[in-house]
A and B are shown apart, each in its own frame.
Chain A
Amino acid sequence: MAAAPTTVEGPARRSQPSGPQRILVYQTLLIVVLFALWEALVRTGVLPVYLYGQPSGILAKARQLLVEGDLITHVAATAFASIVGFLLGTALGSVAGLLMWLSKTAALVLRPVIVAINGVPKIALAPLIVVWVGVGLGAKVAIAASLTFIVALISVYQGTQEVDEDLVKLMRSLGAKPFTIWKKVIVPGATPWILSTMRLNIGFAMIGAVVGEYISSKMGLGYMIYNAGALYDLNSVFVGIFCLMALALVLDAVLGRIEERFRW
């Protein structure tokens, strides 16, 4: 009887430090310490403010840009381009990757093409895209879409290849035609790969959108960061970077929710 409470208590106590609240506390602490250190180093003159910015200055700048400037517009522009590019590229790439399962010949024929395109840094294609679709939103979306398309295509096709060959054999023994096998086994079987590609791709989509903004836009966080950098306005650069981080975290959290929904 006496032993029972201790065995119950033991694991409970041990699990405490890794509880979600504890982690959150440590995370907050880490950020606070880093920013305090940064602020202190700039204030004591160890780091020059014109090269490194300053947390208090960044905060003030953010407030200013939010009230007087068009920070919200920039954030919205980048978010919109990222999301649209992400949806287009990921959807088309995933469907293409799934369809490639249906024809081994097509997959083999296309392989070197895909590898070659994948090997090219997509930024090198940006001037082409600008020529084709013009500057502005179109170019941003197109760059984001082309980046995510190729990632989705490759990893979702890989996903179709990872589906247990014995499940395919089972379906065949039940008399299923290739398209039925595709629909009932390959597509649902590759779903985890589609979901994990989505999380990867949201990052790529943001890279695409920001690159697009660097080279051919008058809007968005990429444009804002690029411009501020040229003017040595490092606080504005950091505001832009932190907005990008926040955006990435939000989009990733949304996708995490979706992924959880579809997991079996």
Chain B
Amino acid sequence: MVNAPVLEAKHVSMAFEAGTPREVIAFRDISFTLRHGEILAIVGPSGCGKSTLFNVIAGLLRPTSGSVSVDGALVDGARGHIGYMLQKDLLLPWRSVLDNVTLGLEVRGTQPDQARERAMSLIRRYGLAGFEFARPRALSGGMRQRVAFMRTLALDPKAILLDEPFSALDFQTRLILQGDVKRIIREQQKSAILVTHDIGEAIAMSDRVLVLSQRPSTVKAIHDIELGDATDPGTLRRSPAFNEYFDTIWRQLDGHAQAAV
């Protein structure tokens, strides 16, 4: 069942102050599936309710209607099976790198030695060896995001949600991390949803790109991205297909942006 959906959103709608004259519809009737082992990017014009959608998928917000399920079970309140990573790394400044990575395992009640061992192997494997006992303030922004990603991975979640995880980083660091995170997701055979406003990032990192329309948002298009197996962001960005995808998606977003102006 390689292509069985890990996560499935069915006709999800979200309205704030529903039923009042001040009702604001964030998005309407959004359906998509996240297949096993794939990375699905969600892009949309600013203010299209990406973050709200993210919170709904993460189970942090209850949709007005529709449902989100992970492995067939509703994400309604039952948390912990989805790992997420945000623009802010949200590391606990009083904990070392190692203790930040084990945080989720600790909450879950994993044996301390096991948690430590798992965290150590992730840290050493993915470029943070030597910083196990450093405090977050001693790390660069890119390294902090790496730690946040390790913390997410340590829990072995069924799906990983990435919400603009690189947008606070400088360009070079961002490209490197995009490549690394993609490679690690593949290596660990994870499935992930990437919410971003960066079209290039969406294309370089994902297997499919879902384009949202202006608010009230609906699914405007879903593109299959076929650029081969490369994870290096530089190589990917040089391919002609990349530019074609970029152009198409840009137009789809641009049309709305102009309508909004």
Residues of A within 8 A of B (CB): 164, 166-167, 169-176, 180, 184-185, 188-189, 191, 264
Contact = CB atoms under 8 A, between A and B. Distances in A.
Contacts of A184: 92, 103, 106-107
A184 B79 CA distance: 18
A264 B135 contact: yes
Interface of B: 58-60, 79-80, 82, 84, 86, 88, 90, 92-94, 103-104, 106-108, 135, 137, 155
28 contacts: A164-B90, A166-B90, A167-B90, A167-B92, A169-B60, A172-B60, A172-B79, A173-B59, A173-B60, A173-B80, A173-B82, A173-B84, A174-B79, A174-B80, A174-B104, A174-B108, A174-B155, A175-B79, A175-B80, A175-B108, A184-B92, A184-B103, A184-B107, A185-B92, A188-B92, A189-B94, A191-B94, A264-B135
Contacts of B137: 264
A185 B93 CA distance: 10
Contacts of B103: 174, 184
Contacts of B104: 174
Q: Pick the 7 closest A-B CB pairs, nearest first.
A: A175-B80, A264-B94, A174-B104, A176-B107, A174-B107, A188-B94, A170-B90
Nearest to B81: A175
A172 B78 CA distance: 10
B107 A180 contact: yes
A264 B136 CA distance: 9
Contacts of A170: 90
B70 to A, nearest CB: 13
Main secondary structure on chain B at its contact with chain A?
loop
Nearest to A177: B107
A264 B90 contact: no
Contacts of A164: 90
Nearest to A168: B90
A166 B107 contact: no
B93 A171 contact: no
- For A171, A174, A191, which residue has the most chain B Cβ atoms within 10 angstroms? A174
Nearest to A173: B79
B86 A166 contact: yes
Contacts of A189: 92, 94
Contacts of A167: 90, 92
B42 to A, nearest CB: 18
Given A174-B104, A175-B80, A175-B108, A166 B88 contact: yes
Residue from B86, B92, B108, B155 with most neighbouring chain A CB atoms (10 Å): B92
A107 to B, nearest CB: 23
A189 B84 CA distance: 21
A165 B93 CA distance: 15
Contacts of B88: 166
A158 to B, nearest CB: 19
Contacts of B80: 173-175
Nearest to B136: A264
Nearest to A180: B107
